[in-house]
Amino acid sequence: MENNKHFDVVVVGTGNAALSAAVTASEKNRKVLMLEKGPEHKRGGNSYFTDGAIRFAYNDLDGIRSIVEDLSDEDNVEMPEYSVQDFHDDLMKVTQGKSNPKLADHLVSKSHETILWMKEQGVKFIMNENQFYETDGKKTFWGGLPVKTDKKGIGLVESLFKKAQENGVEIWYESPAVKIETADGKVSGVKVKSKEQGEVSVSADSVILACGGFEASKEKRMEFLGDEWEDAVVRGSEYNTGDGISMALEVGAVRAGQYDGCHAHTTDYNAPRVGDYSKPGDIYKKSSYPLGLIINNEGHRFVDEGADFRNYTYAKYGKETLKQPDHKAFQLYDSQVRPNLRVEYELDEATVFKADTIEELAEKMQVDTESFVKTINDYNDAVQEGNYNPGIKDGKSTKGLSPEKTNWALKFNEAPYYAYPVTCGITFTFGGVKVNEKAEVLNESGDHIEGLYAAGEMVGDLFYHNYPGGSGLMSGSVFGRTAGLSAAERLK
């Protein structure tokens, strides 16, 4: 590294959003530098840990075939249509109508073209094995999330790193940006703290902040989310500590979005406290709960497991788990549903208790046997008749419970029984900085800070309370590409 080195565009971060920005700007023949806070073997941000499922408006099966190369006409697939309006409706439903309309429209309307662009960059897409149930040879998909990246998040980021390298993008590791520099009210560069050379000044015409939220900062979690978040498992990068937000605020940006909200997920109770780069791919999450029951360590249910497909509830139910005593709960399954559980439940890393009776299961879980048995018996007595179909919201419910189970309610009565202890893992925070649909960072007056852009988790005012599964990854791609285009255009 040399002091006072100049780049057209500096991108802070190396996750999906940052890579999308860097590759896009470099496509326009801009000289691009990426800055990574961690060492090279811990690059990729939260994207490295994702399962790779990505939401976009594919319209119909032909739209899927344009993305997934190994899907043939002979495949017996039932695919529900999923339009831009469907994506928009899902986003507004789960955010309780609070998602910024302009940002929401930009995300959903650009989703399909962005997926096509990603494919052009070398990202390979496959069918999502966790989003269908197979009956008589027919695969029935559900939940608006039928596609994922090949080799999960690792496949995604490595494909984009390869393209960035081909395009001449320079990457500095163990080199966090510590300050955005300005001149005459415009961005003029960044200060970088190099492990080897100390503080380095880098001049740049544009800076794109794509370095995540504050989910890995215990102090900021407690400040904005609450004291109970002190002990939350960090499911992804240990380096997402809100540095980009702080730097942006120092040069006039304003906060936007739900600072007391986040994406959280039920994860194995014994999962690593931060993302383990030797075991990536989201292997600790526990997402099959709509098929079973969720019980806290006092033996009581506390959510409607069947309220909706997991794509629309898991970000919310992770937070509900954190509220339980000892931040702990158990996912319960009997033998009639266990064959339909996701592959993560079968891995060696999964913690599980197995028993031949409900009483034995309670003993192994170390919960109060009397309360536990009553909860199970009350549930079984409340299960109504109906046709069970996990591929649709089947309406097979309970009656007379609080909370009810409104879909997929089967009696819990076929031994052996299984209990998986879970806790809350935080994925990313919803609070960020205010941006427009050009990914320009805005100040208090609503004007853009010239030369400053943001993408990924740093985009505030998009997600509130919850989010549709796979839309965070899509947001990173869309706003990352938008930021790259805007920064490149500025240099004309």
d(CA 215, CA 225): 10
Which pLDDT belongs to residue 196?
79
Query: Going by DSSP bridges, is the β-strand pair 255-256/353-355 parallel, antiparallel, or unpaired?
Result: unpaired
Q: Is 374 helix (H, G, I), strand (E, B) or coil?
A: helix
pLDDT single digits (tens) 33-51: 999 999 999 999 999 999 9
Domain residues of the chain, as ranges?
Answer: 5-215+430-490, 264-425
Write 39-43 long-range contacts (CB < 8 A, 24+).
Answer: 39/173, 39/174, 40/173, 41/277, 42/237, 42/238, 42/239, 42/277, 43/14, 43/157, 43/161, 43/171, 43/173
Report whether the peptide linkage leading into residue 280 is cis, meaning its omega lies within 30 degrees of zero. Answer: no
At CA 405, angle to CA 402 and CA 409, rounded to 5?
A: 140
Which pLDDT belongs to residue 4?
56
Q: How far is CA 257 from CA 108, 254, 471, in A?
A: 18, 10, 16
Q: Is 190 helix (H, G, I), strand (E, B) or coil?
A: strand
Which pLDDT belongs to residue 254?
98
Which pLDDT belongs to residue 314?
86
**Token pair recorded at residue 12:** 């802070």
Please give the model's pTM, rounded to 2 decimal places: 0.92
**Token pair recorded at residue 99:** 């998602």
- Name the stretches of the chain with pLDDT < 50: 1-2
Which pLDDT belongs to residue 71?
83
CATH of domain 264-425: 3.90.700.10
Backbone angles phi, psi at 79, to 5 degrees: -120, 115
Of 16, 44, 49, 38, nearest in space to 280 by CA: 49
Which pLDDT belongs to residue 161?
98
Q: How far is CA 337 from CA 13, 360, 416, 478, 490, in A?
A: 41, 19, 11, 37, 55
Q: Is 256 helix (H, G, I), strand (E, B) or coil?
A: strand
Q: With respect to CATH, is domain 5-215+430-490 assigned 3.50.50.60?
A: yes
Burial class of residue 446 (count of CB atoms within 10 Å of its CB; 0-12, 13-18, 19+): exposed
**Token pair recorded at residue 72:** 């043939």
Of 56, 8, 372, nearest in space to 167 by CA: 8
- Beta bridge partner(s), residue 354: 418
Which pLDDT belongs to residue 158?
98
DSSP for 218-243, please give it. HHHHHHHT-GGGGG-EE-S-TT-SSH
**Token pair recorded at residue 74:** 């002979």
Which pLDDT belongs to residue 1?
44
Strand order in the sheet with 138-141: 77-78, 138-141, 132-135
Which pLDDT belongs to residue 102?
98
Q: Do domains 5-215+430-490 and 264-425 have the same CATH topology?
A: no
